[in-house]
Structure 1
Amino acid sequence: MNWNNLLSEKRIRKSSIKHKRDIRNNYESDLGRIIFSPALRRMHDKTQVFPLTDDDNIHTRLTHSNEVMSLSYTFGLKCAKSSIIQHKTGMNEADLLRIIPIILQGISFIHDIGNPPFGHFAEEVIANYFDKIDCNPLIHNEVKQKFKKLTPHQKNDFKFYDGNAQGLRMITKLQYLDDVFGMNLTYSILGSYLKYPNSYTKEIDKSKKDELKELKKQKKANIAEGKHGVFHSEDKYFKKIIKECGLTDSEGRIIRHPLCFLMEAADTIAYRVMDIEDGFSKGYITINCIKEAFSKNTSEIAKTIVQKCDEPNVNDEARMIFVRIALIDYLVTLAFKNFENNIDHIEKGKYHNELVEHDDNNIHQILSDICKVKIFSTREVNHLETTGYSVIKGLLNHYINQLFNTDKKFINRATALISSSIINVALEEDMLNFIALKYDKLKSEKGEIIIKKKLTEKEYVTKMDDLKEKIDSYLSLILKSENDVEITYDPIKKLRTEIYKAFNDLGNQINFQDLSDYYKLRVIVDFISGMTDKYALSHFQKISGQKIA
């Protein structure tokens, strides 16, 4: 691996010249873009463990991400001071301090940015919904047949839906500012964000145990293949990221960015330790529960935790904080030691452990077991997850039936409720698939257009020739950009606007109905994934007639 590539400051869309007064480097600029993004703000009302909670002490996705960011920053400082990382990068501590800690802060903020409302449970709901769409009596057979005709990769985007893949889509496209580059972050951020740089491109039948067994075997053999991590819609960007960062091994197999391991460790430490603190705040976990769990372990850290649980002259709230501090200190030290000791294997794509799970003392497993027994099985969590199930499934049923309806009135009502930016992203992504068809439709409707628009034959021909020229120029520029010919996006954007206007002038407006079936479904899932918990619940109640305002 070449660390110059791993820390690339380039972007998918070439940036305009920075303002002279901007003293930030590109990594620091990325961090600003992330912090000020609407997608990050929406995470304040997305589930961490307890959905729809009114308790302000309990973690949301945003407070969790802040804590992951803090831990990642510590890892970044350790990287800057590490003689091993200095040698690998060819940089000194002062130079590294403005690069690696900043990258790690950025990817920590966005690591959960693609998660749907109601947390990981909703990921399963969406995936199972599409896996069992054939059995859904509320969905028209025509829609089921259309889903069957999608490519295997396209179907797997929904059947193996994952928040990590949705997050890549969010940061590269759905933060739409009149182009499909989203936040337009540096390759270093995009590469290190990719927790699962991998796609399931073959047909997979979840009902066949041998196929699922093979998938699990694959996950165990290569940590980068743990999930379906890249949607079909982002495949072209994904290939650019892999190429720019040099994320392939000697055999050409795609591997993880080294910094992703540190972000993953920060995430795991934060949620394992803070889930227990949330459980303590809720009254599901006591200090005695923690003491009992660690008493069975003979390691020094376990003895330290037991000692913190027995701390004299303080209350249990203070003891919980002492336990948290000791656990975080131990796990951060462990994870970075594993990172340094295994960096050569990581660079070669031969290290397949989570940094905090690679632990002879098995502390991670103790924390995991406490959460499973004392939190995840509670009535409150299960009750609220059941609410989330009804909401997510209800939203999918409603929008699929509305947007695949043959009556334009239903389509127009549904699209009016969806953010126009989500539809605009899909239209721009899918434009290559429909502009030629729309052009041919205009040719077939020549007589009607001439009468309706009061054109002469010559005027019609001139307009059509002009449109054809713009379409050809657009296709040529897109082809160059996909073949890594460096061009600015401005001429593509200008031509796209002109093509839209030309179609509109000839009475064939570009809209949602022009999208392929894949991108229609993409719009629906993008819309639902971007909702907060409370908005999703409220929206579902309104469209299902349970409330008016």
Structure 2
Amino acid sequence: MEWSQLLSPKRVRTDQVHREKKKTDLRSSFEKDYHRIIGSASFRRLQDKTQVFPLDKSDFVRTRLTHSLEVSSFGKSLGQNIGEYILTFHKDPAFTLQMKEDICNILLCAGLIHDIGNPPFGHFGETAIREWFEENLGKLTFHGDPIEKVLNRQMLADLCHFEGNAQAFRLVTKLHYLVDEKGMNLTYALLNTIVKYPVNSLAIEPEGADIRRKKIGFYYADEKLFREISQETGAGEYRHPLTFILEAADDIAYRTADIEDAFIKGFLPFSAILGEIKKIDTGEVFQAFEKLESLYEKAVSRGEEEPETYALKNWIVRIQSFLIACATEGFTENYESIMQGTYQKDLFAGTNAQELMEVLGYLAEKYVFTTDTIYKMEVAESRILTFLMEKFIAAAIKYDDPKQKMDSIDRRMIAFVSENYRKAYHRQAEGKSEAEKLYLRLLLVTDYICGMTDSYAKRLYQELTARI
């Protein structure tokens, strides 16, 4: 893979290229992507979507919006480090200062939209949608035939392996109606970067060693577009190199933020953090336990009212810098294999940060994600999403099908769906077979539900079940 091709500024709507050459607008193509994203309603909705704690009333705890801003910031920092490495060590004779700037801007944008397709209620929302399809597809019929016999294998696999990453690609390319059906019409380099798993639902290997096959990266409905994009950038069937950097930025953001938020919420005691960190041997580069302990002692000596809070917040900032350095090392040490498409791990593998990242994940899992409080929230969230899936899927199966009659409830359920999403369905359904149209109508439901904020999903459920 070559950077001159990987950083493709091409867009689906080609007439945009001519507008971008106007001398009155000095922004690069990737800077224009940034302004399109932050001005979009889809991006704004992230302020009311869960990161860890659903519908939290605290103004400190992170939402998807604040998480995305953090990922964007870390991504840009990593881009600066890695771009400078390529220049300094002449890893690519054709690499320029402008390319370094382009990498930073692409990662800045990718961080903002990497979670833009996630449904309400965080990652549990993805699980709830997947499980609904797994449990109910075998019970649904279409014209008297089981839906499992109507849809092809990939369509069925798409639904049972529903994934927010694939939904993000779909949202920004086809569902965000600004000018026309081309979505946000973002650059190919950016679109390729946000696809963490460049495989379809029939090629995933969740338990395999290759990180790019862990989950689905795009749906059957969007595969043709993805193939066009990845061919243009030269990434082909491999991960775009910037995807590794985006993933590292995401890992840094959520692993450290989960600890800080859990501590502030009272889920995670300071003593537990100190105890687990104490077990780590991170080498001479960074002594995690000593840093946290010394910061606590400093806070006590200074007479801070909340020495534990002071120590943890300052420690989080320090380990974020450490993790950025380690991710940079992970990329530069494996530069050749990443550019050849053969690297199969994340950027922290084999670095001084690997064990620290594992401990941070363990702490969040033990003290937050598997607690009764979170479990109770998730049970309630599952009930909301299950109800919405049942009602909207039942209506969608009959929608736009002259052979089936919709009753009054079906018509009302479809009326709730965003007009933009319904228009997108009709554009995509033109000339398609009955099976493909049915598949697209099922995606219409997930498109709509994924576009909901946490508050809207909860409110709609309450209104439809008369729970005021």
2:395–2:406 contact (8 Å) kept in structure 1: no
1:190-205 equivalences in 2 (<5 Å) = 190-201=191-202
Tell me the equivalent position of 1:467.
none
Q: Is 1:305 aligned to 2:292, yes or no?
A: yes
Match of 2:235 among 231, 247, 262: 247
Tell me the equivalent position of 1:470.
none
* Gap change, CA 1:201 and 1:40, over 3 Å in 2: same
Tell me the equivalent position of 1:286.
269
Tell me the equivalent position of 1:185.
186
Q: Is 1:347 aligned to 2:339, yes or no?
A: yes
1:377-396 equivalences in 2 (<5 Å) = 377-396=370-389
Match of 1:67 among 58, 67, 70: 70
**2:414 and 2:181 mapped to 1: Cα distance?**
20
Letter in 1 for 2:155: Q
Tell me the equivalent position of 2:105.
102
* Gap change, CA 1:232 and 1:65, over 3 Å in 2: same
1:323-472 equivalences in 2 (<5 Å) = 323-360=315-352, 362-405=355-398, 406-410=404-408, 411-433=410-432
* Paired residue secondary structure (2:206): helix
* Paired residue secondary structure (2:184): coil
Tell me the equivalent position of 2:437.
516
Tell me the equivalent position of 2:169.
168
* Gap change, CA 1:333 and 1:398, over 3 Å in 2: same
Tell me the equivalent position of 1:224.
212
Tell me the equivalent position of 2:401.
none
Letter in 2 for 1:274: A
Greater Rg, structure 1 or structure 2? 1
> How much has 1:294 moved relative to structure 2?
1.1
In structure 1, stretches of 5+ residues that fail to align are 203-213, 249-253, 438-513
Equivalent pairs, count = 448
> How much has 1:298 moved relative to structure 2?
3.0
> How much has 1:87 moved relative to structure 2?
3.5
2:166–2:219 contact (8 Å) kept in structure 1: yes
- Percent of residue pairs bearing the same amino acid type: 31
- Per-residue CA deviations over 1:257-312 (Å, capped at 9, x if unaligned) read 11111110010000000100000110112322211111112334223233334334
2:68–2:111 contact (8 Å) kept in structure 1: yes
**1:114 and 1:100 mapped to 2: Cα distance?**
23
2:50–2:454 contact (8 Å) kept in structure 1: yes
1:88-167 equivalences in 2 (<5 Å) = 88=92, 90-93=94-97, 95-134=98-137, 145-167=146-168
Letter in 2 for 1:308: L
- Per-residue CA deviations over 1:230-268 (Å, capped at 9, x if unaligned) read 1011111011011101113xxxxx110111111100100
* Gap change, CA 1:120 and 1:20, over 3 Å in 2: same
> How much has 1:379 moved relative to structure 2?
2.4
- Relative to structure 2, which stretch is displaced further, 174-183 or 60-69? 174-183
> How much has 1:545 moved relative to structure 2?
2.6
1:143–1:404 contact (8 Å) kept in structure 2: no
- Per-residue CA deviations over 1:181-203 (Å, capped at 9, x if unaligned) read 1011111101111100111237x
Tell me the equivalent position of 1:542.
463
1:133–1:144 contact (8 Å) kept in structure 2: no
Give the superposed CA RMSD.
Answer: 2.1
* Gap change, CA 1:247 and 1:515, over 3 Å in 2: closer
Q: TM-score, normalised by structure 1?
A: 0.78
Letter in 2 for 1:31: Y
1:247-266 equivalences in 2 (<5 Å) = 247-248=235-236, 254-266=237-249
**2:292 and 2:31 mapped to 1: Cα distance?**
38
Q: Which runs of 4+ in 1 moved over 6 A?
A: none
**1:359 and 1:323 mapped to 2: Cα distance?**
19
* Paired residue secondary structure (2:431): helix
**1:89 and 1:237 mapped to 2: Cα distance?**
31
**2:382 and 2:71 mapped to 1: Cα distance?**
27
- Relative to structure 2, which stretch is displaced further, 528-537 or 355-364? 355-364
Letter in 1 for 2:351: D
**2:419 and 2:384 mapped to 1: Cα distance?**
22
**2:145 and 2:45 mapped to 1: Cα distance?**
32
> How much has 1:358 moved relative to structure 2?
3.3
* Gap change, CA 1:240 and 1:307, over 3 Å in 2: same
> How much has 1:28 moved relative to structure 2?
0.4
> How much has 1:380 moved relative to structure 2?
2.2
Tell me the equivalent position of 1:531.
452
**2:262 and 2:5 mapped to 1: Cα distance?**
42
Tell me the equivalent position of 2:60.
57
**2:334 and 2:28 mapped to 1: Cα distance?**
30
* Paired residue secondary structure (1:374): helix
2:30–2:105 contact (8 Å) kept in structure 1: yes
> How much has 1:89 moved relative to structure 2?
6.2
- Per-residue CA deviations over 1:468-526 (Å, capped at 9, x if unaligned) read xxxxxxxxxxxxxxxxxxxxxxxxxxxxxxxxxxxxxxxxxxxxxx9821111111110
**1:90 and 1:143 mapped to 2: Cα distance?**
60
2:327–2:348 contact (8 Å) kept in structure 1: yes
**1:5 and 1:96 mapped to 2: Cα distance?**
11
Tell me the equivalent position of 1:442.
none
1:294–1:306 contact (8 Å) kept in structure 2: no
> How much has 1:65 moved relative to structure 2?
0.4
> How much has 1:364 moved relative to structure 2?
0.5
Tell me the equivalent position of 2:223.
235
1:114–1:168 contact (8 Å) kept in structure 2: yes
2:292–2:312 contact (8 Å) kept in structure 1: no
* Paired residue secondary structure (2:9): coil
**1:156 and 1:319 mapped to 2: Cα distance?**
47
* Gap change, CA 1:336 and 1:89, over 3 Å in 2: farther
In structure 2, stretches of 5+ residues that fail to align are 399-403
* Gap change, CA 1:386 and 1:85, over 3 Å in 2: farther
**2:89 and 2:184 mapped to 1: Cα distance?**
28
Tell me the equivalent position of 1:25.
28
Tell me the equivalent position of 2:205.
215
**1:141 and 1:32 mapped to 2: Cα distance?**
43
**2:309 and 2:65 mapped to 1: Cα distance?**
23
